[in-house]
Structure 1
Amino acid sequence: MYIQYTMDQLCLPMDLEEDIPLNHLARVVNTAVNRLDDSIFDAAYPGGGRDSYHPKMLTKVMIYAYTQRIYSSRQIAKAVRESIPFMWLAGRQRPDFRTLNRFRSQRMKNVLETVFTAVLQFLADEKYVSLEHYFMDGTKIEANANRYTFVWGKAVSKHKSKLQEKVQALFEGIEAAEKQEEQEHRGQDLSELGESAEISSEKLEQMTQALESQLLEKPKDKPLKKAVRKLRKDLLPRLQKYEQYQKLLGDRNSFSKTDPEATFMRMKEDHMRNGQLKPAYNVQIGTENQFILTYSIHQRPTDTRCLEPHLEKAQQILGKWPKTVIADAGYGSEENYAYLEKKEIQAVVKYSSYHKEKTKAWKANVGKIENWTYDTAEDHWTCPAGNRLHFHRESKETLESGYDIRRRHYRSSSCEGCPLKERCTKAAGNREMVVSLERLRYQKQAREILRSEEGYTLAVRRMTEPESVFGQLKNNRGFRRFLLRGMEKVTLEVGWLSLAHNLLKQAANDQKRRAAILQ
């Protein structure tokens, strides 16, 4: 006998909620979004026109889609029509892919961060996070751009310089070919530029228009006609292009023509393992208990200059500065230590030579300043051979950020006959040493904190905090490449990812708590 099977018979109950288990992730997402105040979404809907889908419904669908590794708006729309959890969250409504994409990338651009902050506050209220320890790290995620559409800053400057030379040569040729009275007229225009002055596209446009006016008076002047044609068809458009490139570059060294806000970076996880350059964004996050506390997007490939802008955003989201920041050696610069000290934040941050200092080779290296003795009162250094290096002068270096690094130069009076000189320096004369005393002070503080019991525990814990989150995002949920383009939309994508991650983590923690209670 078979169990009765009839496709045309109506079955009860018809409520989709009956098919959603009590501990299902869709219920976690539903509860979290329902707790949000409806007024949060007012900024996204100014009113007018036909009625819109409820933003809470669309938010639930979008977050749940990101937890299920569904990132395409077309695939999300398909799931809303076919998947029971999606149908339940959507209340059987069926927004199309255009509506979903518009909601994700346009409607929520000024609201998503508020939603993220509200959900984070719920997690803090329920003791999932304490907002005390801030574990920070960054990763690079490939941009939605062709990897062979690069524009390099040095190449642009080089081509622009050669173009300037061609323009100067062209006008010098015109000036030499004209009659004396016309030379004086146009020579006055050229004299404003100077031999070494750079001609802007606006100035070149004015000069080209002046030549075109003269060409109307002398239509048979072939050299002049040829020069005007070259300026209008070749030199002026190229100069405008190079200026536009430099504007897009800003202080970056490259950008992609497909996504001009993406910078070419070396990707660790490239399948060829050769550190291939790809258009990408640097994603910085702060975590606690593997919940994402803050996220930010940067165009710089290195982490060093990302700490300050990231923590500024963290202060806006959290409403306060973190008490302790734990980060790897990529953030251990003098500028960052000074910034954390200024904000009264405890820095459990390694510096580049922290682990090397523990090796026998480092301790036996007589040339390392860390193995020397400094006399604060007399302001001199004593090398392992007993020679003194006295203060000679001070220099200052101003970084791009405006931070000043003051370096003190010390010089030995005599290294002649020193038995350790060959191991100390390769210089022919006496040893000269350049050092930032502030950097040494910050490194000493960091060393003491990292070698304390609390500091060591936090440094070890850091390895399982943001690293695990990145593993979840990139490996378990397969998010290795952005779908959208531009800083604004890419930031929204990371926001949706972070929301989805936090609710997934909450569901996992709830399951562990229930299992512990049952035991």
Structure 2
Amino acid sequence: MARYKPYSYAQGKFIPVHFAKQILPGTFEYSLDHLINHELDLSLFDARFGNDQTGATAYDPRILLKIVLYAYSRGIVSSRKIEQACRENVIFMALSADTRPHFTTIADFISSMDKEIIHLFRDVLLVCDDLGLIGKEMFAIDGCKMPSNASKEWSGTRADFEKKAAKLEKAIAHIITTHREHDRKQTDKDIVAREEQYVETLRKRASKIREWLKDNDDKPGKTGKPKKSNITDNESAKMKTSHGVIQGYDGVTTVDGKHQIIVHAEAFGEAQEHDLLKPMVDGARENFQAIGKDEDVFTKTKLSADSGFHTEENMKMLSDEEVDAYVADNLFRKRDPCFAGADRYRERHRKERTKLAGRSSGLFSTADFVFPEDLSYCLCPAGKRLYRSGNNVAVRNFLATKFKGPESACVPCKLRTQCLRHPERTKIRQVAYFHGRSAKGKETFTEKMKRKIDSTAGRALYSMRVAIAEPPFANICHIMGLDRFTLRGKRKVNIQWNLFCIVHNLKKVARYGPLFT
């Protein structure tokens, strides 16, 4: 039988370590160390300190920045774990020169660099541009919604919080009443102790809500209705994603097509992306102006974005600013011949679900409703009256009169399964009576964009969007492991998002930059 030299991994060894020799050329840490030492201007951090004559010495921001960016590149986000790595990992020791900063120092450095982060991002962008990594032919804008350090259970309007506080106070009163009865009956002390602890927990929750209600008002929405606030982080938003509903932020990026360099990044506490297109366009333009490269980068650069950014107002803004943009609308794929048969299985499954639910596949159409000459109301197949809810309404270039059924008539109706596609969640039936095509007005900016993006060239250019916008999210969220924002407040979350985007760009420099490959 073959014999091998004995060995064991469960052992340690004291060895001399020369920190400079641990940072090997060709690695990411080498690029990071070189850029921070020689390329980036970190003098703006000096204004933080007033210890020129007196006071304790501070940690060099270069040291802190190196270990934070390197930690993020390795998927380490916790400041405690970064501190631990600086004590135990040789690369972290080399980057930090074995200074071993405390985790509170690291956490404070990250969360307080809101004024410096944009300058740092632009310095890295300048390096990328000088190395020829930015093509400026096509930019793509997209967002990645992630949960933050906030609970969606503490989300709602003031009215919701009032109800929740009242419910908690009612529960407290009930438990106290029960507790008094237990005192009279001499109930087991363990049960009484658990009830007292539960009452204290409920009191803290109710007090937390009442304190928030004293200092905060509802966030106004566009339609006049209040938007949902959040007690733990009122700048975050409740968002619907493919993984369910989350409480968090939308990390939005503008990405260049050549090497997927992020040219602008910002985190928003907005559930919808309709209002985010202009700040992203302005941000990218300002970044290139700040580094002295282009007065207006969009004079020669095309822009693409998905349907989440498509509104008439946004299309007008792009037209006014003469941006050569390709922004899809919600029906873009339905007009695409390549997706002509995409719904064939959906329709078949819909019919199967309808059959299993015991509903008729042929729902009542507009022809089954009776309309009087004055169109003041209409009668449904069940003989119930629907009231008029809109007159001369423009629906896709057609004029129509809209009718809506009252809940008192629709909810108890026996013909709901024949009238509503989803009777289990839709309360009332709505009907539109079309008068004919409306007068042809001036072509809207949305129609212009549809015509532009439906062209052969438009579809070819828009098809590039996914390959440009998505790789940075894959790198940041899956390779570097950012699956949630760990900070609270838009200011701090924006810092964290920009730091990860800086790491993404620095990795591109290390991979493609001629000085480091």
Q: TM-score, normalised by structure 2?
A: 0.64
Structure 1 or 2, whichever has the larger Rg, is 1
**Counterpart residue number, 1:348:** 326
* Deviation string, structure 1 residues 55-88 (Cα, Å, up to 9, x no partner): 1111111111100000000100111111111111
SS in 2 for 1:109: coil
1:278 aligns with 2:252: no
**Counterpart residue number, 1:287:** 255
**Counterpart residue number, 1:260:** 234
Please report how far the alpha carbon of residue 411 of structure 1 lies from its aligned counterpart in structure 2 after TM superposition: 5.6
Q: Show the 5 A alignment for 1:71-90.
A: 71-90=77-96
* Deviation string, structure 1 residues 440-463 (Cα, Å, up to 9, x no partner): x5433453355343x444322211
**Counterpart residue number, 2:149:** 144
**Counterpart residue number, 2:279:** 309
Counterpart Cα distance in 1 of 2:398 and 2:67: 65
* Deviation string, structure 1 residues 90-128 (Cα, Å, up to 9, x no partner): 11211110111111111x221111011001100001001
Please report how far the alpha carbon of residue 333 of structure 1 lies from its aligned counterpart in structure 2 after TM superposition: 1.5
Counterpart Cα distance in 2 of 1:495 and 1:54: 21
Please report how far the alpha carbon of residue 51 of structure 1 lies from its aligned counterpart in structure 2 after TM superposition: 1.4
Please report how far the alpha carbon of residue 146 of structure 1 lies from its aligned counterpart in structure 2 after TM superposition: 2.0
SS in 1 for 2:152: coil
The one-letter code matched in structure 2 to 1:315 is R
- The counterpart of 1:330, out of the listed 301, 304, 308, is 308
Asked if structure 2 preserves the Cα contact closer than 8 Å seen for 1:154 and 1:253, the reply is no
Asked if structure 1 preserves the Cα contact closer than 8 Å seen for 2:87 and 2:93, the reply is yes
Please report how far the alpha carbon of residue 487 of structure 1 lies from its aligned counterpart in structure 2 after TM superposition: 0.6
Counterpart Cα distance in 2 of 1:9 and 1:475: 35
1:66 aligns with 2:38: no
- The counterpart of 1:459, out of the listed 454, 457, 462, is 462
Counterpart Cα distance in 2 of 1:284 and 1:144: 18
**Counterpart residue number, 1:117:** 122
1:39 aligns with 2:43: yes
**Counterpart residue number, 1:505:** 508
Asked if structure 1 preserves the Cα contact closer than 8 Å seen for 2:307 and 2:330, the reply is yes
The one-letter code matched in structure 2 to 1:61 is I
Counterpart Cα distance in 1 of 2:237 and 2:474: 23
Seen in structure 2, the aligned counterparts of structure 1 residues 328 and 144 have a Cα distance that, compared at 3 Å, is same
Q: Show the 5 A alignment for 1:179-328.
A: 242=213, 244-247=215-218, 253-268=227-242, 270=243, 275=244, 277-288=245-256, 289-319=259-289, 320-322=296-298, 323-328=301-306
Counterpart Cα distance in 2 of 1:315 and 1:429: 45
**Counterpart residue number, 1:92:** 98
1:339 aligns with 2:314: no
Counterpart Cα distance in 2 of 1:138 and 1:435: 36
Please report how far the alpha carbon of residue 305 of structure 1 lies from its aligned counterpart in structure 2 after TM superposition: 1.4
Asked if structure 1 preserves the Cα contact closer than 8 Å seen for 2:311 and 2:446, the reply is no
- The counterpart of 1:27, out of the listed 26, 30, 43, is 30
- The counterpart of 1:475, out of the listed 461, 467, 478, is 478
Asked if structure 2 preserves the Cα contact closer than 8 Å seen for 1:348 and 1:450, the reply is no
Asked if structure 2 preserves the Cα contact closer than 8 Å seen for 1:407 and 1:435, the reply is no
Asked if structure 2 preserves the Cα contact closer than 8 Å seen for 1:407 and 1:436, the reply is no
Counterpart Cα distance in 2 of 1:491 and 1:3: 52
* Deviation string, structure 1 residues 303-354 (Cα, Å, up to 9, x no partner): 1111112222222222234332111122222111111111111111112222
**Counterpart residue number, 2:348:** none
Asked if structure 2 preserves the Cα contact closer than 8 Å seen for 1:248 and 1:260, the reply is no
The one-letter code matched in structure 2 to 1:477 is M
The one-letter code matched in structure 2 to 1:444 is K
Query: 5+ residue gaps in structure 2?
Result: 166-207, 290-295, 342-393, 401-429
Please report how far the alpha carbon of residue 296 of structure 1 lies from its aligned counterpart in structure 2 after TM superposition: 1.2
SS in 2 for 1:70: coil
The one-letter code matched in structure 1 to 2:271 is P
Counterpart Cα distance in 1 of 2:227 and 2:441: 28
Q: Which moved more, 1:38-47 or 1:466-475?
A: 38-47
Counterpart Cα distance in 2 of 1:433 and 1:157: 47
Counterpart Cα distance in 2 of 1:63 and 1:241: 36
Seen in structure 2, the aligned counterparts of structure 1 residues 101 and 335 have a Cα distance that, compared at 3 Å, is same
Please report how far the alpha carbon of residue 438 of structure 1 lies from its aligned counterpart in structure 2 after TM superposition: 4.1
Seen in structure 2, the aligned counterparts of structure 1 residues 241 and 36 have a Cα distance that, compared at 3 Å, is closer
Please report how far the alpha carbon of residue 8 of structure 1 lies from its aligned counterpart in structure 2 after TM superposition: 11
Please report how far the alpha carbon of residue 137 of structure 1 lies from its aligned counterpart in structure 2 after TM superposition: 0.4
Counterpart Cα distance in 1 of 2:49 and 2:58: 9
What is the number of equivalent residue pairs in this alignment? 373
SS in 2 for 1:264: strand
Counterpart Cα distance in 2 of 1:70 and 1:46: 31
The one-letter code matched in structure 2 to 1:256 is N
The one-letter code matched in structure 2 to 1:448 is K
SS in 1 for 2:217: helix
Counterpart Cα distance in 1 of 2:439 and 2:47: 55
Asked if structure 1 preserves the Cα contact closer than 8 Å seen for 2:218 and 2:227, the reply is no
The one-letter code matched in structure 2 to 1:346 is D
The one-letter code matched in structure 1 to 2:22 is D
Please report how far the alpha carbon of residue 360 of structure 1 lies from its aligned counterpart in structure 2 after TM superposition: 11
Seen in structure 2, the aligned counterparts of structure 1 residues 427 and 83 have a Cα distance that, compared at 3 Å, is closer
SS in 1 for 2:266: strand
Counterpart Cα distance in 1 of 2:309 and 2:42: 40
SS in 2 for 1:464: helix
Please report how far the alpha carbon of residue 510 of structure 1 lies from its aligned counterpart in structure 2 after TM superposition: 4.9
Asked if structure 2 preserves the Cα contact closer than 8 Å seen for 1:407 and 1:434, the reply is no
Asked if structure 1 preserves the Cα contact closer than 8 Å seen for 2:336 and 2:454, the reply is no
Counterpart Cα distance in 1 of 2:75 and 2:273: 27
Counterpart Cα distance in 1 of 2:397 and 2:460: 38
* Deviation string, structure 1 residues 241-281 (Cα, Å, up to 9, x no partner): 6574425567662122111211111122x2xxxx2x22111
The one-letter code matched in structure 1 to 2:283 is K
The one-letter code matched in structure 2 to 1:246 is D
Seen in structure 2, the aligned counterparts of structure 1 residues 28 and 101 have a Cα distance that, compared at 3 Å, is same
**Counterpart residue number, 2:420:** none
The one-letter code matched in structure 2 to 1:488 is R
